[in-house]
């Protein structure tokens, strides 16, 4: 166990070892080329699906591994350690898009959609954010109007991870003045348009685009859950799963911390390793302490969820603390590397850019504090 590890069961430890090996074998060799080309290596979906690491928490009935949330966090963390952008795509597929089908879909929908998603034969994105709608989901403008046994979707979605790669999108749209509904929209549907790639600061190996639905017909059998209850389903899905974003941030921060430890031993100034200087030692001690605290919060939130309890507040705390910690740790890592940290010769500039995203997605840090405060009050 390292200074920042938390206790795991034997089964979780085996899962961690297996995902770490897979990341080293299949992800690490693809990182540099994917970063340069700014594309997600699509074949990883099939590789991860075949190895049992897509949608890992799904029941065996649908081809899943039946793993717990702690294991899902371990997967996000190990992927985040190697390549946060790649983590973003694989985790997005394994979370809201597919998990809403599992949680709220009919048995027919689950049997029709999930086995292919678990094996990586289909790719899901979830399309919630719009050009004018971010944190305030209730203000959504995309509309789905009933027309016989189908709905007609019109509207635009922004910043959609996997939007360019997907075979299916889970789309949230307004079906009445007050009600939102969720739909699985096949990519091949007429009126499903994929916009240009988003030019991002970091996470350049994730696929992120805008989408447009222009008179796009979706059969009624692709509506997930009751009409008009999409907002509650979305909030429950987001609230319950945020510790996974925290885990992904922890992975990035752990890589930055480990790079800093190695650099503090190697880099010599004033005739000795910079790790001999108290200023650097204090940074490393703070980084390790905060990382351990973040990890404890994250895995505790996952255990709360696995125990079947309401995980909304612990998940918000875990997401808030872990992502803010990752941002801080990566900044200190860059400082420890000095000028080299600011170059592409060392990976810390990439960690710094990648960690920055995590305080924004799936609810900003400000929104996490609102979630926590509302429950406290």
Does 95 engage in binding with ligand FAD (CB under 6 A)?
Answer: no
Encoded tokens for 265: 């031993």
3-class SS of residue 159: strand
3-class SS of residue 251: helix
Task: Supply the minimum distance, in Å, between the C-beta of residue 196 and ligand FAD.
Answer: 14
| Contact of 76 with 251, CB cutoff 8 Å | yes
Please give the radius of gyration of the chain, using alpha carbons only, rounded to the nearest integer.
21
DSSP letter assigned to residue 43? H
Taking alpha carbons only, the member of 332, 308, 319, 323 closest to residue 354 is: 323
Which of these segments, 98-106, 111-119, 285-293, 359-367, binds ligand FAD (CB under 6 A)?
359-367
Does 135 engage in binding with ligand FAD (CB under 6 A)?
Answer: yes
Taking alpha carbons only, the member of 360, 346, 349, 352 closest to residue 328 is: 352
Does 360 engage in binding with ligand FAD (CB under 6 A)?
Answer: yes
Task: Supply the minimum distance, in Å, between the C-beta of residue 137 and ligand FAD.
Answer: 8
| For ligand FAD, the closer CB: 200 or 212 | 200
* Cα separation values, 20 from 27, 83, 109, 296, 364, Å: 10, 12, 32, 20, 28
Applying CB under 6 A, which of residues 47, 127, 250, 255 lies at the interface with ligand FAD? 127
Encoded tokens for 271: 């005739």
Which of these segments, 46-54, 108-116, 154-162, 211-219, binds ligand FAD (CB under 6 A)?
154-162
| For ligand FAD, the closer CB: 160 or 333 | 160
Q: How far apart are CA 329 and CA 4, in angstroms?
A: 13
Applying CB under 6 A, which of residues 112, 187, 200, 236 lies at the interface with ligand FAD? 200
* Cα separation values, 23 from 1, 76, 78, 81, 347, Å: 20, 11, 7, 9, 17
Q: How far apart are CA 126 and CA 132, in angstroms?
A: 17
Does 364 engage in binding with ligand FAD (CB under 6 A)?
Answer: yes
Does 62 engage in binding with ligand FAD (CB under 6 A)?
Answer: no
Catalytic residue status for 349: no
Which string of b and e fits 276-292 if b means at least 16 CB within 10 Å? eeeebeebbeebbebbb
Q: Which residue is nearest to ligand FAD (CB)?
A: 134
Q: How many CB atoms lie within 10 A of CB 265?
A: 12
| For ligand FAD, the closer CB: 203 or 323 | 203
Does 210 engage in binding with ligand FAD (CB under 6 A)?
Answer: no
Does 208 engage in binding with ligand FAD (CB under 6 A)?
Answer: yes
Applying CB under 6 A, which of residues 71, 98, 203, 254 lies at the interface with ligand FAD? 203
Q: How far apart are CA 156 and CA 172, in angstroms?
A: 11
Task: Supply the minimum distance, in Å, between the C-beta of residue 237 and ligand FAD.
Answer: 11
How many residues at the interface with ligand FAD, by CB under 6 A? 22
Applying CB under 6 A, which of residues 358, 361, 368, 371 lies at the interface with ligand FAD? 361
Contact mark string toward ligand FAD, 157..186, x via CB under 6 A: --xxx-------------------------
> Could you say which of 107, 229, 362, 366 is catalytic?
362
Task: Supply the minimum distance, in Å, between the C-beta of residue 92 and ligand FAD.
Answer: 5
Active-site residue numbers? Answer: 362
| Residues at the contact surface with ligand FAD, assessed by CB under 6 A | 92, 125-129, 134-135, 159-161, 200, 203, 208, 357, 360-362, 364, 366-367, 370
């Amino acid at each position: 166990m390292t200074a920042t590890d938390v206790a795991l069961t034997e089964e979780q430890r085996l899962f961690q070892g297996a995902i770490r090996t897979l990341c080293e074998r299949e992800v690490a060799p693809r990182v540099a080329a994917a970063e340069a080309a700014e594309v997600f290596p699509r074949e990883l979906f099939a590789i991860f699906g075949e190895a049992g690491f897509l949608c890992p928490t799904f029941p065996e009935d649908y081809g899943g591994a039946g793993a717990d949330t702690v294991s899902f966090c371990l997967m996000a963390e190990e992927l985040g350690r190697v390549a946060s952008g790649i983590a973003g795509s694989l985790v997005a597929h394994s979370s809201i898009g597919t998990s809403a089908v599992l949680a709220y879909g009919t048995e027919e929908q689950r049997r029709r959609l999930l086995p292919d998603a678990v094996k990586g034969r289909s790719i899901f994105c979830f399309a919630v954010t719009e050009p004018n709608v971010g944190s305030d989901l209730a203000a959504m403008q995309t509309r789905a109007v009933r027309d016989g046994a189908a709905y007609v979707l019109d509207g635009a979605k922004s910043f959609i991870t996997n939007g360019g790669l997907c075979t299916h999108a889970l789309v949230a749209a307004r079906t009445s003045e007050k009600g939102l509904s969720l739909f699985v929209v096949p990519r091949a549907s007429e009126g499903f348009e994929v916009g240009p790639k988003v030019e991002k600061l970091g996470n350049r190996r994730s696929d992120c685009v805008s989408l447009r639905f222009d008179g796009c017909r979706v059969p009624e059998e692709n509506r997930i859950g009751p009409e008009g209850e999409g907002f509650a389903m979305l909030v429950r899905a987001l609230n319950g799963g945020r510790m996974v974003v925290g885990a992904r941030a922890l992975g990035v921060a752990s890589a930055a911390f480990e790079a800093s430890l190695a650099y503090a031993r190697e880099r010599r100034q004033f005739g000795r390793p910079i790790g001999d200087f108290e200023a650097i030692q204090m940074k490393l001690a703070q980084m390790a302490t905060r990382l351990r605290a973040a990890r404890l919060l994250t895995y505790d939130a996952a255990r709360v969820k696995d125990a079947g309890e309401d995980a909304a507040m612990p998940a918000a705390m875990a997401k808030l603390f872990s992502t803010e910690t990752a941002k801080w740790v990566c900044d200190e890592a860059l400082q420890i590397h000095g000028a080299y940290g600011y170059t592409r010769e060392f990976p810390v500039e990439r960690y710094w850019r990648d960690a920055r995203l995590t305080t924004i997605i799936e609810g900003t840090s400000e929104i996490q504090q609102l979630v926590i405060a509302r429950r406290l009050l």
